[in-house]
Structure 1
Amino acid sequence: MRAWSQRKFVMSACAVLLALTLLPSQSFGSPLGAKVKAAQAFDLTAPAKELISGTDLQNNTVLQSFAFDNVNHYLYTVQLMAGGQQLPGESAPVSGADRALNGDLCLTKLDESGHVISYMYLKGFGHGVQIGVEPGVGQNGEPVSYLWTEVDAAHDHPADGTNGWGTQIARFPFTDGAVVTPNTPWLEKYSLIQGADRTTVSLDTAHDLLTMRYRLDGLFHFAVFELSKVKSHSHVQPLADVVQPQLSYDFQGFTSYGSTLYLLEGTHSVSTYPDGNTYITSVDLNSGEVTDRQLMTAAPDLTYREPEGLAVQLPDPNHPEAPRLAFGFASGDTGGRQANIYYLDALKD
């Protein structure tokens, strides 16, 4: 944990004043002296390629985010739980509005071709804005995927009946068919920024990094930590901390690779024909400078086409220098949403 200092507040306030337009020269520099190790950035102008399309998940709600277990070759997706389901311990089916308010999520495990293998339910976790996956080994030597998510959902305006959002982050092994709550004994919690809420998380396993998006005093930040140190529950200080640049559309996900942070924004494209408004923005984590912003025109024929989630895939974890930047779209009609994932694999020189 770390204290919110007066100096940090002043610098963040100055950053907000700078956030008038989203330009490549825009800077929201970290006040921290440490540096995140650089890696080649993705070329956001390259054509996108299809990974999966028209995929049904465990629930029929909108895809919120996804992440890869690059060692065991699984894909995990998360959604708000569909209304009308009754889980063990519940006295009656629960509406979709109450599920959203409570922060109840559905987690689906798929192979990398998009075939559903299993699922879990996460009660009281949050909105599922972004998740991470860490490959590991179980007590008996079996391969295990550890999920990193938000947890301990809270809501800003309960009278509005809208959404619950995480206030900490959690790590837990994927367990077929399990229903997990914030009090499940085998769930680990981490409170990395004192007083933060709206916490979400992404992993860069190629560089042993964890990036957490959080809100503090009304500002959204991204803090980068060494993953191995976070797992040790030691006193952890961020390597970098940058204020989120101003975006033009709805924030829909984030991930990082090396010293570059990637942000996804946009809305469903029904009202923005023909090109939509899905953008990916890149930010230098060491300086806070916005380095690129490009319109994503992949999958123009999808019905609904709402951008949802970013993640880095390593097709061969022995060659982390050949990553993919994957971004998702929810498609289909209400009550029958599907997941679609595309990726960029060209790197800048």
Structure 2
Amino acid sequence: MNPNLTIAGRTLSRRSLFRAGAVTAAALGAGAVFAGTAAGADGVPASPYFDITQPSYDLFRGKLLHESHHVMQGFAFDNVNRRLFVVQAQNGTSGDDLCVNQLSFSGELLGSMHLAHAGHGVSIGVEPVGTASYIWMECDADGTTTDARGTALARFKFVNGGTPSVKKFLTGSKTITCATDPVYQRIAVRRSEGGKMWYSVFPLASAAAGDFSTPLAHFPQPALSTGSVVFQGYTVFGDQLYTLDGQGHADAADIDSYVTRVDMNTGTVKSRALTKAGQSLVYREPEGMAVYRTADGETRLFLGFGSRSSLDNINRYANIFYKNVLVG
């Protein structure tokens, strides 16, 4: 089979065709479907990956967030300024208003900020700019309940107690979220395209400048099993995507939370493993993923879980664990 395609007398390679398609998508508008089915113009350079079969360790357990009645959702780290941010729904609202919490690495609440009519908060990103932390997250929800999801990405400076000054990207999207790679400085965007969830990966600096024309990778979310999979979060590190799925259970024997590793240059699943991190928590439910590199140089893959003190208690608690075995 000839790998090239001739258009208007010009022969295009698959790679050139991808570039042309990506530029066309940008020209059509922010809500356009990105071109390509796997790697972008040059792909994502090879990198080490986490061994997701290895044990998990506690960062902290049982911490109340600003909105005490709602479970944690996505979270992310500012790897330059050494900050942790966790998003959740606001107390006393219809479900689409979100709160961004800043926590210490021991789980103590340091500050918070609210973004109304945002979505669900499955995943967020953080971009360090000098001593400031800029939050990336969904906004402009498509509804006003807990089922609402964002239709654009918001970028704003975190200011404790302040009102977000939001810059919006990829408006007109459907079910859009993002995650940032603090080590390789990239941002992954997950959204519905043509009725299926797709991932696109960009240099973070390009995204901040509003340039989403040339994704490094663009691939459909792979099928994870033949049964029901409840998607609960994702993150990226190097050339690998990591996802978390599962449900909350009252009985630890029913744990069904899985971590999956996906090669972003091919869009294929490379590994999938059951995680029992925090298995003793009451009504443990997987919630969010993130990557962080410590000041000592240890790179960690983090998993979030919501919990309760008892099944009849209205309060919800945040719990974060990590894996730290890299291969390659």
What SS does the corresponding residue of 2:198 show, helix, strand or coil?
strand
Question: Which residue pairs with 2:87 in the alignment?
Answer: 78
Residue 341 (structure 1) aligned to one of 310, 317, 320: 320
Q: What whole-Å deviation, never above 9, does each CA across 1:261-315 have from its counterpart, x for those lacking one?
A: 00110000225x4150110101000011100000001111100100000000111
CA deviation digits over 1:30-66, x for unaligned, max 9?
Answer: 1644310121110011110000100110011111111
Contact 2:40 2:214 in 1 (8 A): no
Structural mapping, 1:166-245, within 5 Å: 166-180=150-164, 186-191=165-170, 196-234=173-211, 236-245=213-222
% same residue? 37
SS in structure 2 at match of 1:269: coil
Give me the TM-score of the superposition, normalised by structure 1: 0.79
Question: Contact between 1:32 and 1:241, CA under 8 Å: does it hold in 2?
Answer: yes
Is 1:275–1:300's contact at 8 Å kept on the other side of the alignment?
no
- Once residues 115 and 270 of structure 1 are traced to their aligned partners in structure 2, the CA distance between those partners, rounded to angstroms, is 26
Amino acid at match of 1:74: R
Partner of 2:66: 58
Report SS of the residue matched to 1:3: helix
Alignment of 1:316-331 (within 5 A): 316=295, 319=297, 322-331=298-307
RMSD across aligned positions (CA): 2.3
Match of 1:298?
A: 277
The 2-side partners of 1:46 and 1:220 are apart by: 28
CA contact (8 A) 2:78 2:182 kept: no
1:2 CA displacement:
4.8
Please say if 1:107 is aligned against 2:87: no
Q: How far, CA to CA, are the matches of 1:75 and 1:2 in structure 2?
A: 37
Q: Are the structure 2 counterparts of residues 164 and 303 from structure 1 closer, same or farther at C-alpha, using a change threshold of 3 Å?
A: same
Matches within 5 A, 1:109-128: 109-128=102-121
Q: Determine the structure 2 residue equivalent to 1:284.
A: 263
Structure-1 residue corresponding to 2:44: 36
How much has 1:233 moved relative to structure 2?
A: 2.1
Corresponding position of 2:136: 148
User: What's the secondary structure of 1:274's corresponding residue?
Assistant: helix
Q: 1:34 to 1:172 in 2, by over 3 A?
A: same
Judge conservation of contact 1:123–1:179 (CA < 8 Å) in 2.
no
- Any idea what the Cα deviations from partners look like across 1:96-129, whole Å, max 9, x if unmatched? 4x2x1xx200111111111111111110111101
> CA distance change for structure 1 residues 293 and 174 in 2, over 3 Å: closer, same or farther?
same
Question: How many angstroms apart in 2 are the aligned matches of 1:214 and 1:34?
Answer: 22
Query: Counterparts of 2:212 and 2:286 in 1: how far apart (Å)?
Result: 36
- Structure having the higher strand fraction is 2
1:21 maps to which residue?
A: none
Say which SS state the counterpart of residue 46 (structure 2) adopts. coil
Q: CA deviation at 1:179?
A: 3.7
Aligned CA distance change for structure 1 residues 118 and 348 (closer, same or farther; 3 Å): same
- The 1:134/1:32 distance shift into structure 2, 3 A limit, reads closer
Q: Taking structure 1 as reference, are residues 303 and 2 closer, same or farther at Cα in structure 2, changes over 3 Å only? A: farther
Deviation readout 1:246-267 (Å, 9 max, x if unpaired)? 2442100000000000011000
Change in 2 beyond 3 A, CA 1:176/1:204: same
**Alpha-carbon separation, structure 2, partners of 1:259 and 1:162:** 32
Q: Which runs of 5+ in 1 are unaligned?
A: 13-28, 84-95, 138-142, 181-185
Q: In structure 2, do the counterparts of structure 1 residues 82 and 266 end up closer, same or farther at CA, with 3 Å as the change threshold?
A: same
- Report what 1:260 is aligned to: 240
2:20 matched to which residue of 1? none
Residues matched between the structures, number: 294
- The answer to whether the 8 A contact 2:286-2:305 is kept is yes
